[in-house]
Amino acid sequence: MHINGNKVNSIIQWGGGFNINKGESVNFGGNSKNYLNIAHGTNKSTIAGLLNANGKNVFLINPNGVIIEKSGIINANRFVASTSSMSNADMWKFAKLNENQGATFSPVFKPQKAGSVVNMGNINANDVLLIGHKVSIDGGNIHGMHSANTSGNALKNPSNNTASKVHLVGNEVNIQVDGIKSNSIIASAYSKGALQQSTTSYYNYGGKGLNFTTQEYDNIENKANKKLVTQDKFEKHATIGSVKDWFYFAKGWNDDKNNMRNFFSTYKLTSDIDFGGNQGKNYANYCISQGQCTSMIIGSANNNTFNKNFDGQGFTLKNINIDVENIDYAGIFGNVSYSDIRNIKVDYMGGRINGNNVRYMGGFVGNSLHNGSFFSDISIKNIDFINNNSNSFFIGGFAGIAGGNFTKIYIDNINNILGKSSSGYGGIGGFAGNAKGNFENIAINSINNITLKVNGPAHAGGFAGQLFTGEYVKNVYMENVKNVKVDAAGAFAAVGGMFGEIGNNTNFDHIYIKGLENIYVDNKYAQAGSYAGSFAGRSYKVTAVFQNIAIEGKININANATQSAYAGGFLGCNGVFNMGSCGAQGGNNGAYIHNVYLYFKEGSNVKAKSYWDQAYGGESYANIFIANENNKNISNANIYHYINDFNKNDYIQDKINIHTYTDETQANAYKDFLSKAN
């Protein structure tokens, strides 16, 4: 596209927004020296192609934001991008400016507006002004204008010329240390400022200094109490925009090259990264060239635990295979402590996590032991299998051990999670092997099989094998987490649709489990106990609260043990702790249970079997709600089942409501269940 203006100052209002697709170009020519572009609509402006102004001055105004992609190129004498809206009166003022006034025009900064300006590409201009709520140079370059005789593909590269001035204005300003070439770099940040350097650059050259100044921007609307962030308050951020950057992130962090662990406060993704798993690349032994190999696991050992902040900025790590042995921690991150990790997507694209002699293994992190860590806005999907053969271990779709605070986590499409041990204990779950934190707004979808085979104590759950600390688990939705099975030979074995074992006074609230099929445990150890339930195999904390919980499916619950076996439609065991049994049963010893709805499709069952008869201490407890004796702390518990599938033995008539249905009444029964469960 060619744009030729005849006046000194030209104003173009783009009704459908202003964008340049990759491979396309917009050329500004003619007699006009200054082009003011106003982008209308609700979308940000994306520059993925070439904006070529032949030495003229280009202004781009879009309140929704301006993004210069990796493939985006700007060539101009002066380039201004702003997210501050302009009135018709402001536009007329610009139109009437003389040539020099128009060339030096600077839009107002409106701190309350939300649009951001991000440069991941190449800006070649002698004078650059970027204004937005957030202004970030994320792996992009800002150099001076190309020489007059530059043409063709050369226009798409950094000019290597020096810009006379670069000014960045925003509530948050992030400056790329190794991307700006200018005699004058000015930052006007009013909330937060950071110097950014790629991990590749830092690994090879150490911390680069940057000569920049901070100063007030002279055209601010409603500044209020906002104060300029001074130079000494700028944070240090590492940027990761390629597989090479991730390589040096991992190697630099794990080896602490150039004191990397202490230099940066935050690590940030600036692009999607493809790890080439479907091409035979191994994340745990990754080579970027002949002889240059390392484990990409961040925090792969106790002596290099990751303890900083990580912001994925909505980008995706994808196409991953992890094949690893003889280490403690396996995952995208290995061992994490007191970190804040957020805004990242992980798509294994059918890849796997395959371990031998690994202690802690997860789809995202091997071990997050401390409650001081925060995980939010993270998705994990498309894992073929997570498998580990080890002495003792914890394995989960998200984490081996999940300690900390977790919110807005989404797990989707894991075929199998499998753990095997011939001599130790095991914990395994769709989210975590062992949970030790607070969990809110979690969704888990489509895990076919969670299977644990150990010759020791065993815990398995659709969400987690065990829960031992944490104040709450709330707003959790699980669908088609189908089969949770344990084959054990230990002092006890517990399995549940949500948790194998609960050992903490936690508040469980607003939880929906749909599509559950098989909960199975078989424990052949002498004098051993087994516990199975659609929600949990065993809960032994008397002040735990279970409320607003719904579970539905054609559910088969089976507990088999050498000595005592407990199988319950909701809980296998609800009482105080006593190794190998439910301890004190009945009375007020169980947890508080309110507003629980169970819908058993036709063909469901709850069974318990002891291999010993009663003469040798064998006991079997199976019940439609809780396997042990009735609990007084129950209110509004509702069970829907096919008329021929269950009897009603040992339920509390004034606290547990039994709704049976036939072929003819099934649809209405399910409708009634949904109306109450939702």
Q: What is the pLDDT of residue 651?
A: 59
Q: Is the predicted pLDDT of residue 177 greater than 90, yes or no? A: no
Higher pLDDT, 628 or 221: 221
Angle at 115 between CA 109 and CA 117, to 5 degrees: 85
Query: Which two structure tokens, joined as six digits, stand for 418?
Result: 């499998």
Higher model confidence: residue 496 or residue 578? Answer: 496
d(CA 632, CA 613): 30
Q: Give the predicted TM-score (pTM) of the model.
A: 0.91
Measured between alpha carbons, how far is residue 395 from residues 134, 215, 264, 361 in Å? 39, 51, 30, 5
Q: How far apart are CA 193 and CA 174, in angstroms?
A: 6
d(CA 253, CA 305) in angstroms, rounded, equals: 9
pLDDT computed for residue 646 by the predictor: 81
User: Residue 407 and residue 614: Cα distance in Å, rounded?
Assistant: 47
Residue 575 has what pLDDT?
64
Give the length of the chain: 678
Q: Which comes out higher in pLDDT, residue 85 or 111?
A: 85
Q: Which residue has the higher pLDDT, 646 or 309?
A: 309
Last residue of a domain, one of 185, 207, 236: 236
pLDDT digits 0-9 by tens, 397-414: 999 999 999 999 999 999
Are 336 and 310 in contact by the 8 Å Cβ rule? The answer is no
Q: Which residue range(s) make up the domain with 542?
A: 456-678
In a domain, 374, yes or no: no
Q: Establish if 76 belongs to a structural domain.
A: yes
What is the reported pLDDT for 577?
Answer: 45
Residue 420 lies in a domain: no
Residue for token digits 């199976």? Answer: 622
Predicted pLDDT of residue 539 = 87
Q: Extract the tokens encoding 553.
A: 């499916």
Q: What is the distance between the terminal CA atoms of the chain, rounded to a whole angstrom?
A: 54
pLDDT tens column, 322-340: 999 999 999 999 999 999 9
Element (H, E) at 668: helix 666-677
Dist. CA 459–CA 250, nearest whole Å: 32
Point out which residues pair with 104 in neighbouring strands.
none
Report the C-alpha gap between 221 and 86 in whole angstroms.
Answer: 12
Please choose, from the candidates 212, 125, 209, 145, the residue with its C-alpha nearest in 3D space to the C-alpha of residue 173.
Answer: 212
Domain tally, the chain: 2
47-56, 568-577, 602-611: lowest mean pLDDT where?
A: 568-577
d(CA 235, CA 542): 47
* pLDDT at residue 300 is higher than 50: yes
In a domain, 524, yes or no: yes
Would you say residue 633 lies in a domain? yes
Q: 185 pLDDT exceeds 60? A: yes
Instruction: For the chain, give the mean pLDDT.
Output: 91
Nearest one of 40, 51, 90 to 73, comparing CA atoms: 51
* Banded pLDDT at 160 (limits 50, 70, 90): very high
Identify the residue with better confidence: 227 or 226: 227
Query: Would you state the pLDDT for residue 589?
Result: 55
Distance between CA atoms of residues 152 and 166, nearest Å: 26
Banded pLDDT at 280 (limits 50, 70, 90): very high
User: Average pLDDT, stretch 94-119?
Assistant: 89
Confidence band of 43 (pLDDT split at 50, 70, 90)? very high
How far is 407 from 377, CA to CA, in rounded Å?
7
Q: Is the pLDDT of residue 576 over 60?
A: no
pLDDT value at residue 236 = 94
pLDDT of residue 180: 93
Give the span between the Cα atoms of 484 and 607, in whole angstroms.
15
In-domain check, residue 269: no
Identify the CA nearest to 374 among candidates 407, 397, 409, 329: 407
More reliable by pLDDT, 654 or 42: 42
Q: Which of 512, 537, 659 is nearest to 600 (CA)?
A: 659
Mean pLDDT score, 431-450:
97
Confidence class of residue 585 from pLDDT cuts 50, 70 and 90? Answer: very low
Query: Quick check: is 366 in a domain?
Result: no
Q: Which of 217, 236, 255 is the last residue of a domain?
A: 236
Give the C-alpha separation, 216 to 325, whole Å: 55
Query: Strands 50-52 and 2-5: what pairing?
Result: unpaired
Q: What is the mean pLDDT of residues 476-495?
A: 94
3-class state of residue 168 by DSSP:
strand
What mean pLDDT comes out for the span 387-405?
Answer: 96
Tell me which DSSP letter residue 108 carries. Answer: P
Across residues 165-181, what is the average pLDDT? 94
The last residue of a domain, from among 218, 236, 254: 236
Per-residue pLDDT for 293 more than 90? yes
CATH classification of the domain holding 124: 2.160.20
Mean pLDDT, residues 222-235 taken together:
89
Structural domain includes residue 517: yes
Residue 534 or residue 492, greater confidence: 534
